[in-house]
Chain A
């Protein structure tokens, strides 16, 4: 092997690589802070992968928010522009996405991704760059135990409090009617498991015995084993800490085993528009918590439902509403403080959100020192082929059906 050849080979290859590296990195780079430029809002969302269904809902919510704000002339006279990256439901990606948004694309504002699992790493990046971080999905209590100072959850309640109204209802039933045994199956995900375990804690304290307690990893597709355990336990009530597809699969597997509980509650899945078709319309009596209803009388909600429906053809669901709420919180802070850019402005925004109450589509929101909202969720039930609010009593659309009819 000749010397020159060796040298040339290495030099060429190395040069090519460096060139590639620089080419790969010099893209983007928009965004500055001068007056008429748009306010660029950076978001990373799971548009593919495990959380793509809710991820796309959140995306639509943000898009609706940007459109409604821009139609009214923007914020501080500047248009709002969304820069959305796909994190593939992947915690590694979400970090580098926010790193890219803040460090390279120099966005003015960042808002949260979907799913608690992704919120924590993302929030850490935002925190370490000193950015305000309002997020639509980090509902589990762990999120608020990390010591974040810039994080705010834009929804009425954290996961563990979602079923509070249902727990009260069950424990208030007369002794003869009250369920005595319960089966829990939850995805190993801080949000999904948080909802189920929040209820479990309260029911156990109230004397309802836990007979099955199963945790399954995200991406589980085979539920017949779990379903067999639940069915053979003959538990009076079944609680699913689910996202979407896992909830559907578990319900189908339970129905295949002809299991008929007195009460069935699943988080998230039953509120999805595709839910009824996915389980063959055998939905009767299924319960789900929700933080949002299209019928809520708050003025901004009336506008949101109308304009969202005009833009997308269907009324908004909870994920869309949470994203919209996030936008509302950020917009309120920007308008009040009068700036939207990286640097000192961010701390002012954080201080403002911490000290104020914001009117949103889910009602007035305020936060404690850890960024946790102070509120509870409503409970919906499938009654007569339609999902309706049944708890709490002052917000109900129809009476709760208990024990639930056969599915």
Chain B
């Protein structure tokens, strides 16, 4: 019954989706690595960036991709401020729990303000090339989805190079692996942690723009994203960026393929099944580091 063409089409859609998941989850796992913080507001910032892209397109007539010039630095600064101004003030003993509540509060505030500014109406960017598509071996690929995927890949690659090839990346990885030792060798871990948060939030800016290109947005949409993203970082191994990226691609692809026999909502439950299974049988995650074991 199921045709090969449909499976191939779904694989392509799944890969395109997985790329976006990978970018977004990498930010989330970065925060966890740096501070053991589950940053609930990550996806709220994502939607905020999407709204900024939408706003600049409809109200200013600027291509949404150009809004990145503003949102990326803005979100980086917001991330640094968030870490230095708020999260680092929490008591270390209850940091994990309280940071969840604090970032939850931030998410709700963003949602409320977005609703206040733009109402709860669903919004969608209308692009001239919105329905343009390419053909690849019988499958159709929407140009906007390809652009979104390209953005995600470019951002991930930048992140990878930043972490592996720069002094800052070296300091950041040291901070993640062993903060005390990092301090001993002269790394200003507070500062590094702040910048790390900034980079995490900058990924949300890129992801939000990519998201806005092809889907409808509304203020409470972030709840639909935070669940899959949390599942991805747990399955990937909390704190591991490559693990998160791998888990994102696998789960994105699985979700897309499951949509063939199941409907869209049931297909989404794969994230939570994977999450519960991981915690019950392999709490340290499938792709990632040793960090997760104690959390």
Interface residues of A (CB under 8 A from B): 47-50, 52-53, 88-89, 214-217, 219-222, 224-226, 228-229, 231-232, 244-245, 248-249, 252, 255-258, 277-280, 282
Contact = CB atoms under 8 A, between A and B. Distances in A.
B132 to A, nearest CB: 8
A106 B224 CA distance: 40
A192 to B, nearest CB: 15
Interface of B is mostly: mixed
B131 A214 contact: no
Contact of A256 (B6, B133, B256): B133
Interface string B212-251: 0001111001001000000000000000000000000000
A166 B216 CA distance: 30
Contacts of B124: 245, 248-249, 278
Contact of B9 (A48, A228, A249): A228
Residue among B128, B144, B264 with max Cβ neighbours from chain A (10 Å): B264
B120 A48 contact: yes
A39 B116 CA distance: 31
Contacts of A229: 6, 259-260
A225 B264 contact: yes
B215 A222 contact: yes
22 contacts: A47-B119, A50-B120, A52-B119, A52-B121, A53-B121, A216-B265, A221-B215, A221-B216, A224-B142, A225-B264, A226-B264, A228-B6, A228-B9, A229-B6, A229-B259, A229-B260, A244-B122, A252-B130, A256-B133, A256-B145, A257-B9, A277-B126
Contacts of B290: none
Contacts of B120: 48-50, 52, 88-89
Nearest to B6: A232
Nearest to B144: A256
Given A48-B115, A255-B131, A216 B264 contact: yes
Contacts of B142: 224, 256-257
Contacts of A248: 124
Contacts of B183: none
A232 B132 CA distance: 18
Interface in B113-154: 115, 119-122, 124, 126, 128, 130-133, 135, 140, 142, 144-145
Contacts, number: 94
Q: Which of B17, B121, B224 has the most CB of A within 10 A?
A: B121
Contacts of B34: none
Contacts of B264: 214, 216, 220, 222, 225-226
Given A88-B120, A225-B13, 20 more contacts: A48-B119, A48-B121, A214-B264, A216-B263, A219-B224, A220-B264, A221-B224, A222-B17, A222-B215, A224-B142, A228-B9, A229-B259, A231-B9, A252-B130, A252-B131, A257-B140, A258-B135, A280-B126, A280-B128, A280-B130
Interface residues of B, number: 37
Nearest to B119: A48
A119 B191 CA distance: 55
A32 to B, nearest CB: 34
A66 B120 CA distance: 26
Contacts of A257: 9, 133, 140, 142
Instruction: Pick the most buried of B3, B13, B221, B267: most chain A CB atoms within 10 A of its CB.
Output: B13
Contacts of A47: 119
A53 B224 CA distance: 22
B13 A249 contact: no
A256 to B, nearest CB: 4
Given A48-B119, A221-B215, A278-B124, A214 B130 contact: no
Given A256-B140, A256-B142, A280-B126, A225 B131 contact: no
B26 interface: no
Contacts of B144: 256
A249 to B, nearest CB: 6
Given A252-B131, A257-B133, A221 B9 contact: no
B126 A278 contact: yes
Contacts of B132: 256
Contacts of B9: 228, 231-232, 257
B10 interface: yes
Interface string B1-13: 0010110011001
B121 to A, nearest CB: 5
A215 B263 contact: yes
B5 A232 contact: yes
Contacts of B215: 221-222, 249
B182 to A, nearest CB: 41
Contacts of B259: 225-226, 228-229
A23 B128 CA distance: 53
B265 A224 contact: no
A41 B126 CA distance: 39
Contacts of B265: 216-217, 220
A272 B292 CA distance: 51
Interface in B1-41: 3, 5-6, 9-10, 13, 17
